[in-house]
Amino acid sequence: MGVVLSLRRARWSALKRRSQQTPRRAKLPRFAVWRRYVGFLALAALMLGAAALLPAPWHKPGAVGAMAGVMAIDGDTLRARGERIRLFGIDAPELRQPCYDTSGREWACGRAAKARLAALVAGGTVACASRGHDRYGRMLGICSAGNVPDVAEALVQEGYAVDYNRYSDRYTAAARDARAARRGIWQGRFERPEQWRHRHGH
């Protein structure tokens, strides 16, 4: 029994000596701890601020972004930041496509549609909500410009484009109004842009 107690005492003494020899981790002063947390919070705030300054990811589906320097390519397509944006839900006459007025005289409705779109987007900063991309890689967008809440709707209402009801009925009412008032292409005779493209191999 005495031998067992001696062994226990020896083991306890060895453990005690080992714990005394192990250096304890020095505690940081409260000021140093506070400074470390403040530095971390400042870095996080800086990263959040930088992210807020980045342009909105307008090219992704559902996202909205403001753009300057937007150009009209034709009557229903824009170019911004190196990407083409096809106005969703409408179809405008092609650039070389003619239309005919009430007297049967030909007029360049395709170029007129492009000129009208260019005038609309020149009125202020353009913002587009993406609806994905078409088979040509163009972004499909619903766009506003300045005081015009929906550029595509304005084009349809003024008779410079038709509603593309094969993909959306968003502008069916606007097309009906333009036709009843005989505005733009509805003043005389014209061919649906999609049919004109098929006939001319576009």
What's the pLDDT score for residue 10?
A: 57
CATH class label, 64-199: mainly beta
| Percentage of residues in the chain having pLDDT higher than 90 | 57
> 153-189, pLDDT tens digit by residue?
999 999 999 999 888 999 999 999 999 999 999 999 9
187 φ, ψ to 5°?
-70, -20
Place of tokens 């001696």: 6
What are the C-alpha distances in Å from 190 to residues 74, 92, 97, 100, 172?
A: 17, 11, 9, 6, 18
Going along the chain, which residue ranges are E strands? 64-67, 71-72, 77-80, 83-87, 90-91, 99-100, 106-107, 126-133, 139-145, 162-163
pLDDT higher than threshold 50 for residue 4: no
Give yes or no for a contact between 124 and 67, defined as CB atoms under 8 angstroms apart. Answer: no
What residues does each domain of the chain span? 64-199
3-state secondary structure of 133: strand
